[in-house]
Structures are given as structure tokens and as C-alpha cells.
Chain A
Amino acid sequence: MSEAVLELDHVSKRFGALIVSDDVSLTLKRGEIHALIGPNGAGKSTLIKQIAGELAPDAGTIRFDGRDITDLDMAARARLGLARSFQVSSLAPEFTAMQNVMLAVQAVSGRTFAFFKPALKDASLIEPAMIYLTRTGLEERANVRAADLSHGERRQLEIGIALALKPRAFLLDEPMAGIGAGGTRKLTELLSGLRAEAPILLIEHDMDAVFALADRISVLVYGRIITTGSVEEIRGHPEVRRAYLGEEAS
């Protein structure tokens, strides 16, 4: 288990009578893409929120790099190297794409309490930010306000910001949502290359992308992980076909 970067150990969460995470145990290992699939309302995003620190679990522990992070807040977890992209793009809308990435670069540099040096002309922020924008195919759009970017470009920007955090693990919540076939293909390529940098916990509804990318897949239904396995195992799993793939086909 030493190669596990992220470990969820019997994590449970309920909202009133609704159990959204039911004794979830999960690992994310070095170098892998671990996909988390499941029908709508299965509790995938809620699980991501607990891992990222937006929600606190009722029970269980979350370990990252061998360290118990269950009680750390979102910012502290991000600083440890947990980068997250949001299901619904969450950007600073008035800032340009470049400034959104610069914010991440400056956060990683650890020097936010600098009051005098002009940040927007600071080459030590701009140059790294441009690299991440280029990697996500946004170099032409660097000076466009996030609010004016297309939906697909905002998804790309989310990934660019995550990259800028130089993370030790990615949490990507439906990065492909609504970006069209061409965008999905490009993003699939990008994510595939990312696993060498840091493992990815991927929530995705696009099953072609999941089967193309994932090293392991966990299936979440009603807050429970019903099975974890390789792409082949999941494709053939009867309960999965019934609970998830079957439902999608209907």
C-alpha cells in the first residue's frame, strides 16, 4: 500500500436521512487514473468535496501522502498538492485566463502577502502561467476574460489551473462535461499524459473516455462502492451492467 497517494478509509457522510457516502474506502495509486463512475445522485461529487475539504465526512479518515488530512481545510489540502477541477467551472470571471492561472502560480510560490511588486507584470508569474495555458491549448486565449471564454475553454482553463498547482494528485470532476467530441478527444490525450506527473481521480460520465483512460474503475451506487476493478472487469460485472451501464442504455 505504500504506493497509494490518496487513501479513503471507511468514509461516511449523511445529509439527514440520506446517506451520500456509505463506508467508502478507496485508494489512488501512483501513476494511475482511477475513474469513479456511477449514476446521477450516487454521491460522486459529494465524495470529491470531502476529499478536497469542502465538506467534512461524518466518519472515516482521508490520508494523503501518508498523512491524515481529514481535519485540514480546503486551502491546506490544496497546498499539500491536491488539485481539483470543478463539475461546474468555478473561475474568477473578471480575470483573464492568464490571471486565473497566475493566481494558482502565486499560491504555489507561497508568496501571496507581497504588497508592492506589481503582480500583473511579474515574469515569474506570467511565464509559468503561459506554459500551463499552452499545455491546455489556451495560449491564444490568454487575455480573454474567463467570463467570455466558451464553455469548453473554461473546462480547459480548469485543467490549466490544476496543472499550475504542480499537484501530487488530481481530483477531476467531469472534466469532459459538455465540451463536444473534438474537445473530449484532445482532453483525453492530455489527461492520459498527466498520470505520469500525478495520479488522477476522475469522475466522468463519458464512458468512452473512461474506458480509454482508466487503469482502475470504482462504481459508486447510492453512496456505496459496489466494485472496483480493471476496465475489463467492470465491463463484464453483472451488477454494474444492471446498476449503471444498463441504466444509461435505457
Chain B
Amino acid sequence: MTREGWINLCLALGLLAAPLIAVAADEIFYVTLATKVAIFALAGAGLNLVLGYGGLISLGHAAFFGLGGYAAGILASQAQNYEPIASWPITIEGTTQMPVIWLVAILVSGLAALPIGALSLRTAGVYFIMITLAFAQMIYYFAVSWPAYGGEDGLSFYVRNQFPGLNTLDPLTFFAICYVILMIVLAFCSHLTRSRFGLALEGARQNELRLASVGIRPFRIRLSAFVISGMITGLAGALYADLNRFVSPAMLSWHTSGEIIVFVILGGVARLYGPVAGAMLYIALEFLLGGVSEHWQFLLGLLLLLVVLFARGGLIGLLAGERRHV
């Protein structure tokens, strides 16, 4: 196994061990922190596909995170109030079943990512950053101004959604659900990035002229990656809604997009476990420094600056060395 492989294994086991130790020590709060790490890592894993492997800096992934969150929130609150979401032309009922909610979250974010990606990917560089940001802000302001689902105040649902055969109200069980999803998605990403599709996606990042001149259209490759990426981040959003039993426009705001980028950059761009390492570091800093000073984000900014200046490969790059295509 490569050095990076060992580091990945340590990160996976570390994230699994943290809540188990917390439960043993009767410190349930830390289980919630670990769950947050798993969910943020999942959101970052989605973004990493386009930002890391595809080299496309999307500043609009909060759109998918929030849409996934709202999909969960709306389905759950309607079901809890026994009101259908739509009664014409067909009746659509809410649901409190997680698997259904996840599916809807993935579908909704994918359907949003398709037109957003199709339009954004006609641009490049700074314009791509700005247009993805613009789309996300559009959705944000729509959520703020739409009173049916709480508008600016957000939308609460009182009981966490259910998973057949499990008690999701137990923090450790909910952590396990998030963790298993994260592992499945990371395995998926690992295959994806090493497949022919992954080869073409990285080819497009390095030299799109080269890719086109061998007969592969960079646009299609990138759009597919963008949609898959949006779906993963949307799934993370649904889980995040369930963690808090609350969704609000904050999930859609550009702060959230920035945070997801920070997870990826801190951990290591285009590294499979980059978002995991990044989310761990971020939550740890928020928790440790946040206790010391409410200006902890100043120190986060400093750290980010150091990573960008001196450790381009992020935490994983620092530990495992430069990335090789093998």
C-alpha cells in the first residue's frame, strides 16, 4: 500500500474511533462533532471532483448543499404536518424515510446542477467562479423570499427522519449512517477518478486543447463531473438537515460555498481523503480555537494562507508527498 493509502486508512479509522471513544467517555457532544465532520467531508468529496480533479473552481456548491437540505426539510415537515407537498396534477406526499429523502435530494441537486453546469461551463477561470456564485446566490435569495418554507427564518422539523430498522435519534447510529455513506461515496470517487472518465477529466484540466484534439469534448466530461459532484454535495446537505433538524437559507449562502472550498484546500486538492482531512481540521479548529476566541476564523485564515503558500497539496500533500498518477 502507498503512503497515501496508509494515511487514508488512518483518517478513516480515526474518524470512526472518535465517536466510539466519546460514547465510552459519555461525551455525546463529540459524536455530533464527528457526524458534522463526516457530512462536511462528504460535501467536500463532491466538490473535490470538479475543483480538484476537474480544476473547476465552483463557488456555488452551497446551492446543491442547500437544495439537498431543503429537499429533506420540506419532505419531512410536510409529512410531519400531514400535508401533501402538491395535490395537483398528482398528489405528492412528504416522507420521513431517509432513503427516499436521499434519493430526492440527489435528484433535485443533480437536476439543478445540469443547467447550472451547462451554462457555467461555457465560461472559464474567474468567470466560471462568478457565474457559479451568481447561480447559488439566486437560489439563496429565492429561499429567503419564499415564505412557504420559512423564508429567512428557515424551516424546522421536530423529529429526525427514519431509517428502516435503525433508531436514528441515537447520535451514534446517525453518525454510523453518515459514516457509511461517506465511505461508499469515497469508494465511488476512488473508482471514478481512476477510470477512463477520470483520465479524461484530468486531461481536460491539464490541457483541454489536447483533449479535444484526440477527439474527446471537454465540455461533456466536465458537465458530467459537475452533475455528479452536485449530487454528492446535495446528499451531504440532506444529511446536514437531518443532523440539525433544521434548514435555513444559510446553507445556501456563499459562506457555505467558501467553507466547502476550504475543506478541500486544507485537506488537499485532488486527493481522495483531502476533504476528510480538511473537514476534520476545520471542525477541530472551530472547536478548539472557537473556545479560546470568537475570532478563531482569523487564525483559520492564517492557516489557509500558509497552506496555499507553502503546502499546495494541503494536509495530505504535506504527509504523503506530491501526487502521482499511478
Q: Which of B197, B199, B207, B326 has the most CB of A within 10 A?
A: B199
Interface string of A188-228 (1 = CB under 8 A from B): 00000000000000000000000000000000000000000
Interface string of B282-320 (1 = CB under 8 A from A): 000000000000000000000000000000000000000
Q: Is the CB of A116 within 8 A of B191?
A: yes
The verdict on A75 contacting B212 (CB below 8 Å), with A113-B224, A118-B191 known, is: yes
Q: Which of A103, A104, A114 has the most CB of B within 10 A?
A: A103
Q: Report A40 CB to chain B, min CB distance, Å.
A: 22
Of the residues A100, A114, A165, contact of B195 by C-beta under 8 Å = A114
Which one of B30-38, B59-67, B149-157, B213-221 is at the A interface? B213-221
Chain A: CB-nearest residue to B322: A94
The verdict on A102 contacting B192 (CB below 8 Å), with A73-B217, A95-B325 known, is: no
A91 within 8 A of partner (CB): yes
- From 79 to 108 in chain A, residues with beta carbon under 8 angstroms from any chain B beta carbon are 79, 83-84, 86, 90-96, 99-100, 102-104, 106-108
Q: Please, how many residues of chain B have a CB less than 8 angstroms from a CB on the other chain?
A: 26
B196 within 8 A of partner (CB): yes
- In whole angstroms, how far apart are the Cα atoms of A75 and B208 in the complex? 11
Q: Is the CB of B198 within 8 A of A78?
A: no
B203 to chain A: which residues have CB within 8 Å? Answer: 92, 95, 103
B119 within 8 A of partner (CB): no
Chain B: CB-nearest residue to A94: B206
Q: Is the CB of A92 within 8 A of B195?
A: no
Q: Report B199 CB to chain A, min CB distance, Å.
A: 5
A249 within 8 A of partner (CB): no
Of the residues B210, B213, B224, contact of A52 by C-beta under 8 Å = B213
The verdict on A90 contacting B213 (CB below 8 Å), with A116-B191, A120-B194 known, is: yes
B169 within 8 A of partner (CB): no
B182 within 8 A of partner (CB): no
- From 112 to 136 in chain B, residues with beta carbon under 8 angstroms from any chain A beta carbon are none
Chain A: CB-nearest residue to B216: A107
- In whole angstroms, how far apart are the Cα atoms of A54 and B209 in the complex? 9
Of the residues B211, B224, B326, contact of A103 by C-beta under 8 Å = B211
Chain B: CB-nearest residue to A93: B206
- In whole angstroms, how far apart are the Cα atoms of A99 and B207 in the complex? 13
Of the residues B202, B207, B210, B216, contact of A112 by C-beta under 8 Å = B216
Q: Report B301 CB to chain A, min CB distance, Å.
A: 29
Q: Is the CB of B207 within 8 A of A90?
A: yes
The verdict on A78 contacting B202 (CB below 8 Å), with A92-B207, A95-B325, A106-B196 known, is: no
Q: Is the CB of A96 within 8 A of B216?
A: no
Q: Is the CB of B212 within 8 A of A73?
A: yes
The verdict on A99 contacting B325 (CB below 8 Å), with A78-B215, A94-B206 known, is: yes
A84 to chain B: which residues have CB within 8 Å? Answer: 213
B207 to chain A: which residues have CB within 8 Å? Answer: 90-93
The verdict on A112 contacting B221 (CB below 8 Å), with A75-B216, A118-B191 known, is: yes
- In whole angstroms, how far apart are the Cα atoms of A113 and B220 in the complex? 10
The verdict on A90 contacting B217 (CB below 8 Å), with A95-B203, A96-B325, A115-B191 known, is: no
A113 to chain B: which residues have CB within 8 Å? Answer: 196-197, 224
Q: Report B188 CB to chain A, min CB distance, Å.
A: 9
Q: Is the CB of A90 within 8 A of B209?
A: yes
Q: Which B residues have a C-beta under 8 Å from some C-beta of A?
A: 191-192, 194-200, 202-203, 206-207, 209-217, 221, 224, 325-326
Q: A78-B215, A90-B210, A119-B196 are in contact. List 4 more A-B contacts (CB 8 A).
A: A75-B213, A108-B214, A114-B197, A120-B194
14 contacts between A and B (CB under 8 A): A52-B213, A75-B213, A79-B215, A92-B211, A95-B206, A95-B325, A103-B216, A106-B200, A112-B200, A114-B196, A115-B191, A116-B195, A118-B191, A161-B214
